[in-house]
Amino acid sequence: MNIQKICVSKDNTARIKCPACANCKGVDAARLPAPPRAIKVRCGCGEIFQLCLDYRRFYRKDTKLLGTYTKESGKKYRGQLLLVDISMGGLCFQALDQHGALKNGDELLVEFTTDDPRKVTISRYVTILASSGRGFNCEFLYPARTDPALALFLAP
């Protein structure tokens, strides 16, 4: 059984859509179990399915895009990356090479080209929030809402 990921809006509501009949219903997420637990739901049509609530502030798009990262302060370093996911708030990437001494708090310039028909190159400054091996979770230094190319790329 596949588990649907349901985004919870700022007003703490979620729209649940039945995979069988496509019936939609808005629910108060405060009345549902907290993540990361999957929830079993029964639709009026009789379909039983599972869902998991996602409380992120921004939609996160899964990707597999190649790009580069550059550390410009301290010991300068440039490397290749695989962009794993991205949102209006930040991104997650895997370093494809020995990443030098990247650590939490470092500021990087990340560049990649979108895989949509427009093939736009996006360059964003980020701060590393967390790292594990070659994986890095980063937050944008400047609000991404001012970047129309990124907003179009992230449109679901």
The label of the residue with tokens 């001012």 reads 146
Between residues 75 and 92, which one has the greater pLDDT?
92
pLDDT for 156 equals 66
pLDDT for 106 equals 92
pLDDT for 138 equals 94
pLDDT for 144 equals 67
Average pLDDT value for the chain: 85
For 3, 39, 91, 99, 154, the CA distances from 87, given in Å and listed in that order, are: 21, 25, 6, 23, 7
Interval 15-38 mean pLDDT: 81
Interval 4-26 mean pLDDT: 82
pLDDT for 11 equals 77
pLDDT for 34 equals 66
Interval 136-153 mean pLDDT: 83
Interval 21-50 mean pLDDT: 83
Q: What percent of the chain has pLDDT over 90?
A: 37
pLDDT for 131 equals 87
Structure token digits, residue 98 = 């020995």
Structure token digits, residue 122 = 């996006």
Interval 54-61 mean pLDDT: 70
Strand ranges (E), 72-120: 77-86, 90-95, 107-113
pLDDT for 66 equals 97
The residues, ordered by sequence, that sit 6+ positions from 83 with a Cβ below 8 Å of its Cβ are 63, 64, 65, 66, 67, 91, 92, 93, 110, 112
